[in-house]
Chains A and B, each alone.
Chain A
Amino acid sequence: MISLLVAVPLLAAFVSLFWKKASDVLFSLVALFNVIVVLSKWFPGVVEIHAMGNWKPPFGINLVLDDASFYAALIVNLIFLMVSSLPVETKKGYETSLMLLLGATNGFVLTGDLFNSFVFMEIITITAVTTAAKRENFYNAYKYLILGGIAGSFYLLATIFAYGATGSLNMAHIAMVGLSGSSLLAVTMLYTIGLGVEAKLFPLNGWVPGVYGGNEVSPIVLGTAVSFAALYMLGRLFGTVFHGSGLNTLYVLSLVTILTGEMAALRESRLLRTFAYSSVAQAGVVAAMISKGTENALNLAYFHLTNDVIAKFVIFLVAGFLVYSYRDLNGVFRKHKLLGISFSMATFSLVGFPMFAGFQSKIRMIMEAFSTKDFLFPAVLLIATAIEVGYVIRWNVRLWFEEETFEERSKVPLTIGFFSFALAILLVVVFLQPDVFLEGTQKMAKALLDTESYVNGVFSAVKGGM
């Protein structure tokens, strides 16, 4: 069943090549289908696998569905469902790539095999680059391609080293056998670099502002779903497979990411790019929490990531619409009050003001850090938040209160208005009742760290034999 999550979008993508007129409808249907499939497997609690071609692991490729990958798959598919409901102009001509991206992301999240994840990662890179090229954003997409290719090479190298050291490509098998010594070091470092590009770690994240700031569809998809997948993989690799070694480098890199991202955002004068930098910084925050390795830390990391993804969806949705409908953004929210309110609410959630979800995640993260006697991370986080306050307030004031040059009011498509407002309300709901997400991320964190049951689950629940 779970392989359908990958197979159906791929199939639909190929079909849409020949049947261009229906690609839009196809996309929506596929996304809907995926969501239904995912929802039918609500938090399985145990590890379920699907062995491809009925080859028993560790000899074949298998897809794994446990609590962690379920949660990731849920988020990814829900986001794609929302993207598919966006108006046609947003994604015209790119539905094929988006469907491929959907399939590849699902695969990346669900796979239990290292080489398979490399393959899916490459597909993600290529389709992401294609999406990034909309609105003639060619140079930035090209840079992303180069960097993504290099990242892929490092990722492959790491996989090869892992194969060389353990003789297997299967994640569960590697987790069971375990790497050691210099091979562990080499593999974890290379994976850090390889994933780091996609996970937007410093200084590998140079591509982000160009790609996110280039058109209105790439940040909505890449900045939310794909980021989530990449950071999920970070947790999976370092948590389940490598048993939490190699985390110090990640910690240091992520702290630097946070600060550099925020400072770069401060000076930015274009709306989409500013929040692209903010995405960088938030990815750094999540990575820092992941690098702590405890269950609570992972729980909060993914809670924060969920909040961030929702807030970013709203922000990029609204910003994307406005940037390409108006030449001058001063005071534009006075024409679009609903969009403005949603946007403001999302940015305030980003900063962590109370009454919005971001507050819950930030406060808990700080509490967690202090309880493990980590005094550096809260300081960095708070400094970063102070900088965030600066540019968030600056943008909000400019978009609401500045004198506007006279321009005709563009009509807001219904889906954009609906989604932005609904998600903003969701942020408030999460503030009032954080357990809505916390329960899910709790399970996810548990599953990520529970190597034993992962391994057992993969090897025992096998259909067919050799």
Chain B
Amino acid sequence: MALGLLPLVLLTLSIFIYLVSKMSWKMGALLNFLAGLFTILYVFTLKVGTFEKLDLFGLNIQFEWTNVSFYFSFVSLLVIVSVMLFSTKWLETQKYRASYNMFLLMVTAGSLGVFMAADLITLYVFWEIAVLSSLLIVPMEKKEARKAVVVYAVMSAVGTYAFLYGTFLAYQRYGTLNIHGIAQGMLNDTSIGFKMAVFLLLSAAGIAKSGIFPLHIWLRETHGLAPNAFSSVLSGQFIKLGNYIFLLVLSVIPSLKVFSEVTVYSGIPLPNYILIALGNVSIVIGTLMAIKQDDMKMLMAYSSVANGGYILIGIGTMDPLGFEGGMFHIFNHAVASAVIFMAFAAVIYRTKTQKISEMGGLIHKMPVTFLVYLFSIISLAGIPPMSGFISKWMIYQALVRKGMFITAFLAFFGSIGSFLYVFRPLAGVFLGQLPRKYRDVKEAPAVMLTPMVLLVLISFFLGVWPFPILQAIEKIRVDLDVAPSFKISDPENWLVKGFAGSWNPVLVFGLFLVGFIVAYILYSLFPRPKKVDLLAPHREEGTPINIYTGGEFIYNPDLYHYNTKFYAGFERMYEKHPSWEKLLKMFGKLFHDAGEWIHSWFFEPSSSAYTFWVVVTLLLVFWVRW
């Protein structure tokens, strides 16, 4: 009934919120939060399988609410609502508060519309609404963001317009824009080349939006320079739009059946394999580039590239474990990424700087932020008992089962590499020595801590008891007909089953708890420690810090914080790497220079030159037509 109404209502509400925010931005932010909360509750009440046709804007708009819609909407709204709550306090650092509130809600509306769309034009319309709104938020804060947003806009446009071209190519051939209709058409179509072309064009939008190689360069600057809380939305939720496209292209249009004649390796069709290869490269690039970043947010931007690769690989294998792993990873990455960016926003809120090399020892001042960050990176690196491990486990199982050793190798590389690069901000920002200028930094405000803590708790809970979400994903998988007979989650026996063995997440958590208790018992059995005050030089000038230095006295601990070029040995190995960014920027320059040439030859010169061109055209035209 009111399916299609939801995004439209949110759109109109956003304009209203703009006006409210002009008077009081706090009211506006609060209203935003309440709207988000309402939406998330409303989303739970929507019935799966509702189909709605609206005749809006002179176009045939079709909405359909599927399991997939619910899942993606839930993940997106979880992130967005948390950020909205976070923003109620954080917005005071921003200049354009009213517009921020408005555009944030428009992003929400656009995303919901994308997830509900039953045909590709509707999807395109809401996609562009979401993109446009995000384009206007990104340059709001920092100066360098203004150049970055143009790169973002153009890359997004490239992906989106390729998608549009593919859509109409399919429309022209199959006569319908409805996703199921196109799937049906592709199943009956015999021309492989055509199907591949449509497939690749449609997935271009996903590639551009998820930041998969080769269209990944915009992530670094855009995520790094966007307003801090919005980076959470960009990385945690916006990228999911791209993942949704992949899901459509790979599963809703059943790629296994459509391309069953062109399997490459272990039953994986060629187009899937191409995407998996791109995902592989993304993992490598994302991991390697992240390891050497100095800016916290750019580091996590590259992490999003790598994780996007994971998700793509998971879904692309079309293996039940891989599929569920990929889908679950969407949730995990969204939550972990959102929390990490919010933690960064909190730190930047207090310290007013973004570079790791300028920070350190903040755990003494911001312990809760530290804990929240710690648990998120545990999840992101795929370590039990957080939920990130489960999704990674499933993806590994799928890869090993299919015998895709190179991909498995790169997935392992990405996983261990992720351990390296998430540890770096931990060590550089929170641990180590506290610089003198941050002596009086306080913990982040409670309103900003609450959403982070809640998200971490959810991730933790799902790490120990993943069955609710696994069942939801399983339902999706069975609906989409991906090896429907293979059951993965087994809540009665508390087992997560893979093809090569199973395990009990509750038991693992239990063991960890037991281990911790044993350790604690041993710890307390033995003599009490004497506390070393690491902040001594700050409290009293002239007291050295009490750590082992082999005979030196450290009066100025700032100088001894090891956080620049943390992995110097490793970084040296790939210092002189070829830069994809430069290549794509060269492309941009190519267009620019072409324009320059056109301008100087045709648009600038004297009137005699104009006459010359007229005559040339005349002669040419006559010569050709004669």
Contact = CB atoms under 8 A, between A and B. Distances in A.
- Asked if A pairs with B, the answer is yes
A209 interface: yes
B595 A266 contact: yes
B149 interface: yes
A396 B137 CA distance: 12
B129 to A, nearest CB: 6
Q: How large is the interface on A (under 10, 10 to 19, 20 to 34, 35 or more residues)?
A: 35 or more
Interface stretch (A166-174, A232-240, A397-405): A397-405
Interface string A345-388: 00010000111000110010011001101010011001101110
Contacts of B502: none
A207 interface: yes
A348 B58 contact: no
Contact of A209 (B140, B603, B607, B617): B603
B596 A189 contact: no
A260 interface: yes
B603 A264 contact: yes
A143 B607 contact: yes
Interface stretch (A25-33, A70-78, A198-206, A283-291): A198-206
Nearest to A374: B172
Interface stretch (A5-13, A38-46, A56-64, A147-155): A147-155
B599 interface: yes
A404 to B, nearest CB: 13
B622 interface: yes
A382 B132 CA distance: 17
Contacts of B622: 186, 189
B614 to A, nearest CB: 6
A185 B625 contact: yes
A193 interface: yes
B602 A206 contact: yes
Interface stretch (A304-312, A409-417, A432-440): A432-440
A266 B54 CA distance: 38
Q: Which of B169, B593, B609, B621 has the most CB of A within 10 A?
A: B621
B208 to A, nearest CB: 11
A394 B150 contact: yes
A150 B614 contact: yes
Contacts of A434: 57-58
A204 B612 CA distance: 10
A193 B591 contact: no
A462 B153 CA distance: 58
A328 to B, nearest CB: 15
Contacts of A267: 592-593, 595-596, 599
Given A143-B610, A398-B146, A432-B57, A266 B591 contact: yes
A267 B135 CA distance: 21
B139 interface: yes
Contact of B165 (A202, A206, A207, A382): A382
Q: Which of A205, A389, A398 has the most CB of B within 10 A?
A: A389
A354 B128 contact: yes
Given A354-B128, A394-B150, A143 B592 contact: no
Nearest to B131: A353
Interface in A430-462: 431-435, 438
A185 B626 contact: yes
A249 interface: yes
Interface residues of B, number: 58
Contacts of B57: 360, 431-434
A265 B150 contact: no
A353 B58 contact: no
A375 B157 CA distance: 19
Nearest to A367: B168
B149 A397 contact: yes
B434 interface: no
B614 A366 contact: no
A208 B599 CA distance: 11
B614 A401 contact: no
B611 interface: yes
Contacts of B610: 143, 146-147, 150, 204, 206-207
A125 interface: no
B164 A382 contact: yes
Contacts of A403: 143
A323 to B, nearest CB: 19
A401 B139 contact: yes
Q: Which of A143, A197, A253 has the most CB of B within 10 A?
A: A143
A375 B58 CA distance: 24
A390 interface: yes
B617 A204 contact: yes
A129 B316 CA distance: 61
Interface in A248-294: 249, 253, 260, 263-268
B121 interface: yes
Contacts of A196: 617
A186 B510 CA distance: 89
B564 to A, nearest CB: 30
A353 B165 CA distance: 15
Contacts of A204: 610, 613-614, 617
Contact of A142 (B153, B171, B607, B618): B607
A263 B59 CA distance: 32
Nearest to A438: B58
Nearest to A266: B595
Interface in B96-145: 121, 124-126, 128-129, 132, 135-136, 139-140, 143
B146 A203 contact: no
A181 to B, nearest CB: 11
A230 to B, nearest CB: 16
A398 B147 CA distance: 9
Given A397-B139, A401-B139, A147 B611 contact: yes
A268 B591 CA distance: 12
A401 B595 contact: no
Contact of B609 (A154, A206, A373, A379): A206
Contacts of A385: 157, 161
Nearest to A153: B614
Nearest to A368: B168
Contacts of A260: 598, 602
Contacts of A363: 59, 121
A23 interface: no
Given A209-B603, A263-B598, A433 B58 contact: yes
A393 B168 contact: no
A302 B607 CA distance: 31
A192 interface: yes
Contacts of A366: 164-165, 168
Given A355-B129, A385-B161, A402 B146 contact: yes
Contacts of B161: 382-383, 385-386
Q: Which of B140, B595, B605 has the most CB of A within 10 A?
A: B595
26 contacts: A143-B610, A147-B607, A150-B610, A185-B626, A189-B618, A189-B622, A189-B625, A193-B621, A203-B617, A206-B602, A206-B609, A208-B603, A249-B621, A264-B595, A266-B595, A267-B596, A359-B125, A363-B59, A366-B164, A382-B161, A382-B165, A385-B161, A389-B157, A390-B154, A393-B150, A393-B153
Q: 5 closest A-B pairs (Cβ-Cβ)?
A: A263-B595, A382-B161, A146-B607, A267-B595, A370-B172
Given A142-B607, A359-B125, 18 more contacts: A186-B622, A192-B621, A203-B602, A203-B616, A206-B613, A260-B602, A263-B591, A266-B595, A348-B132, A363-B59, A366-B164, A367-B171, A370-B172, A373-B172, A385-B157, A386-B154, A393-B150, A401-B139
Interface of A: 142-143, 146-147, 150-151, 154, 185-186, 189-190, 192-193, 196-197, 202-210, 249, 253, 260, 263-268, 348, 353-355, 359-360, 363, 366-367, 370-371, 373, 375, 378-379, 382-383, 385-387, 389-390, 393-394, 396-398, 400-403, 431-435, 438
